[in-house]
């Protein structure tokens, strides 16, 4: 609700046993709180977040490359622009078997 005198927002105020709406700018108060209803909104508890382990869901593409750590022949890869925009992206690889991560700078 807004104050009819100055247009400011009316805030709830408790005096003695009455609840009123009062303007903090000009001091206007309502006769009673029946003209405006204040309702409480009880929110439900948030749903639990399900955690998926990294091993359970792998969406990265695979390539045939030898791991420098265990010599396995397959690895996941992704690219990141780590240098200036006019230079090529850096390719990161992660071995499927031992999870070793290394870079390929092509």
Annotated catalytic residues are 86-87
Residue 46's alpha-carbon distances to 42, 43, 49, 51, in angstroms, are 12, 9, 9, 15
Give the separation between CA 48 and CA 21, rounded to whole angstroms: 39
Give the separation between CA 35 and CA 20, rounded to whole angstroms: 10
Give the separation between CA 75 and CA 47, rounded to whole angstroms: 36
CB 74 within 8 A of CB 100: no
């Amino acid at each position: 609700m807004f104050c009819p005198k100055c247009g400011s927002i009316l805030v709830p105020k408790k005096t003695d046993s009455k609840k009123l709406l009062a303007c903090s700018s000009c001091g206007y108060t309502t006769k009673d709180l029946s003209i405006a209803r204040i309702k409480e909104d009880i929110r439900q508890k948030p749903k639990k977040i399900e955690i998926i382990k990294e091993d359970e869901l792998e969406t990265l593409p695979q390539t045939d490359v030898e791991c420098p750590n265990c010599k396995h022949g397959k690895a996941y890869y992704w690219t990141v622009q780590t240098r200036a925009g006019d230079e090529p992206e850096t390719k990161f690889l992660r071995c499927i078997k031992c999870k070793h991560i290394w870079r390929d700078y092509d």
